[in-house]
Amino acid sequence: MKTTLIPLLLFTAVACTTDRVVDHHAGDIDELARQYVQLGLAIGQYDGAFVDAYYGPDSLRPLSTPAEEMPRDSFLMAVDNLYDQFQTIANDAVDDTLRVRAQWASDQLVAFRRRIQIFTGEYGTFDEESRDLFGVVAPHYTEDQFKSWLSRLDSLLPGSGDVSSRYQALANRFTIPKEKLDTVFRLAIEECRKRTLRHVGLPAAEDFSLEYVTDKPWSGYNWYQGNYKSLIQINTDLPILIDRAIEIGSHESYPGHHVYNMLLEKNLYRDEGFLEISLYPLFSPQSLIAEGSANFGVDVVLPGHDKVIFSREVLLPAAGLDTLGIALYFKALELKGKLTYARNEVGRGIIDNTMSEEDAMRWLATYGLYSDGSARKSIDFIRTNRTYIINYNYGMDLVKMYIESRGGVATQPDRQWELFAQLLSNQVRISELAAQ
């Protein structure tokens, strides 16, 4: 009986704050933020993927055992009422900070609603789901466009045969032996940390632990623990190439997810008291910035030819690998960039039931240049996380345009780092990114 009352109590608490919101008291949004966190944690009792991180007060965690089934309608009602009250503040507030907080929380609640629907078996199209969950619809590309991008890579790669086979032959030369993985990853992370610290002030107590796991749909994951600590897990199901040590290491740590979560916790939650920041819902607009900035951050921390130099002088020797051809490989990776959108088209096809698994495998191999194992792993990821895939490439492109449009170009690294840190430290709405 107690478990079914949680959403109704949340709804009642939300409804009772209406008068205070109209008065624009500063405490109104703090109260709504408290209810936002409680609601998110309650949903997370049923949907295990809903809450990616939480470092707020333990007193806001649900006290009762969840029911067997998610109380869908009660949760949706609570979401809608909370959304309406945040919108009242967003529309009427004179204070800019108050208005931004309310707008940001409103966007997050749109994602709450859609995720509840998905979890309870009510699906939309790929574009409908991505718009509600992450605030954007990723661009559509035709097969002819992928063929055009592929032809550029075709002219670069040595040898004969199809592009995918020649690319894989080049890439396989830089596969890290399993016994060298920890050494290589720690070297990559330490270099990224050193470079990040030159530009971004981090809490003195910050730290992370590194684990190697198997049987996961992802290649790497940052489990942020709060108090400036992270658990970083690396999936070793498939061979790991030298560039992935840089990408995964930077993406999950410095200046990626570890730094992003720390800056939000310190600058907004601890320094400003924004309680809503203490809850990170995975399927929300926040993830488009998190994944987009983490991918863009790889080029911020190791720009241009620095990846080649670092790989040639440090990582490849540590892995016991030949350095011959590493510059060509990174050039191929650069040309391969747009081809990452092939996975979006595969995701769109799978979610919208317009592409068979056989066709999905062909697209990923031909246009995404995936190995057979990587392609199957990618399809598993899509089936589990659905439209989340757009955050990596389209999110990165939006973050890149947002920063560069403000003068944060590669030739102005100090300005680029300044804007990058600002993005990671504030409640930036996706509409601000998409406006670029």
CA 224, 269, 195 angle in degrees (round to 5)? 55
Write out the H or E segment, with its range, that includes residue 213.
strand 207-213
203 contacts 228 by C-beta, under 8 angstroms: yes
| Distant-in-sequence, close-in-space partners of 412: CB < 8 Å, separation ≥ 6 | none
CA separation, residue 68 to residues 38, 45, 46, 65, 191 (Å) = 19, 10, 8, 9, 47
Pairing of strands 207-213, 229-235: parallel
Q: Give the count of alpha carbons within 13 A of 263, CB side only.
A: 22
Of 58, 424, 53, nearest to 224 by C-alpha is 53
Write out the H or E segment, with its range, that includes residue 51.
strand 51-54
pLDDT at position 307 is: 96
Of 179, 178, 183, 208, nearest to 193 by C-alpha is 208
pLDDT at position 26 is: 63
pLDDT at position 122 is: 97
pLDDT at position 331 is: 95
194 contacts 172 by C-beta, under 8 angstroms: no
pLDDT tens per residue, range 188-217: 999 999 999 999 999 999 999 999 999 998
pLDDT at position 107 is: 97
- State yes or no: cis peptide before 255, omega within 30 of 0: yes
pTM score of the predicted model? 0.91
Of 10, 379, 33, 31, nearest to 218 by C-alpha is 379
382 contacts 351 by C-beta, under 8 angstroms: yes
The residue ranges of every structural domain in the chain are 2-122, 143-434
Q: Long-range contact list for 90-96, CB < 8 A, 24+ apart? A: 92/24, 93/24, 94/24
What does the pLDDT profile of the chain (436 residues) look like in tens digits?
334 344 444 444 444 444 444 435 466 999 999 999 999 999 999 999 999 999 999 999 998 888 889 999 999 999 999 999 999 999 988 889 999 999 999 999 999 999 999 999 999 999 999 999 999 999 999 999 999 999 999 999 988 889 999 999 999 999 999 999 999 999 999 999 999 999 999 999 999 999 999 999 889 999 999 999 999 999 999 899 999 999 988 999 999 999 999 999 999 999 999 999 999 999 999 999 999 999 999 999 999 899 999 999 999 999 999 999 999 999 999 999 899 999 999 999 999 999 999 999 999 999 999 989 999 999 999 999 999 999 999 999 999 999 999 999 999 999 999 999 999 999 999 998 888 6
pLDDT tens per residue, range 57-83: 999 999 888 888 999 999 999 999 999
Pairing of strands 229-235, 279-281: unpaired
d(CA 127, CA 109): 18
